[in-house]
Amino acid sequence: MQKLTISLFKQLTLLVALVCTITHLFVKAFDKNTMIGLLIGLGILYVCLAVAEFSTKMAKMSLPFDRFFYLPYEVISDKAIRLGAFAIAGGVLWISSSALVFLAGLLFLIILADVLVFILKVKQKVYYISLFANYVLISLEREHKVFASQIAGVEYRYDIFYLKLKDKKTVSLVTDRLAENQKQIFTQKFVQWVQRNQLEFTAEAKEKLQGIMQ
């Protein structure tokens, strides 16, 4: 309930800022200095609420103890594309030399909140891989469970495990994107996990992992 309340207030803050901006564009209800002060105040409130929303979510999350911090390039690239698009749009509005500059402020506000929350996620190791008895949990922006019963075979090359699923899809686990001090430990534990679940490595994988396989 608390997380929902914070989320509603956060979205309401953004809505109020948008309404004030649109009102200023068409009605000129506020002078420029008042509008700037209003947006700064709402911006600070929005960022604080975004951080509070994440903190509340973290307090209620049950993170597995035995987890491996995992930040693949796809997460970074998706975040960069999204924030880059907002930054370009904000930049275009900023140099427009019109009242639209206030819309740019809203976009920069969203970027700032998103960056802060992303930094907190990395710091708290919310992105991770965890091995359970019969499934692999991959927690990125969303959680994805890959059950052993779904896997037809496992390939390994260039420090990447390829989980070949029975529905012809492939899930990649890039060990280079693990923390350096966890890479070898994860490789050993994952090999043991594959063996416990009686899954098959390809001949190439067996050759590359022969020093680890029992």
Instruction: Write down the pLDDT at residue 170.
Output: 93
pLDDT tens, residue by residue, 14-46: 788 778 777 777 777 667 777 778 878 888 888
Instruction: Write down the pLDDT at residue 214.
Output: 63
Instruction: Write down the pLDDT at residue 98.
Output: 67
In the chain, the domains with their CATH numbers are 2-123 (no CATH), 128-208 (2.30.29.30)
Q: State the SS3 of 117-164.
A: HHHHHHHCCCCEEEECCCEEEEECCCEEEEEHHHEEEEEEECCEEEEE
pLDDT tens, residue by residue, 131-152: 999 999 998 888 899 999 999 9
pTM higher than 0.85: no
- Which stretches of the chain drop beneath a pLDDT of 70? 1-4, 29-30, 59-65, 97-99, 214
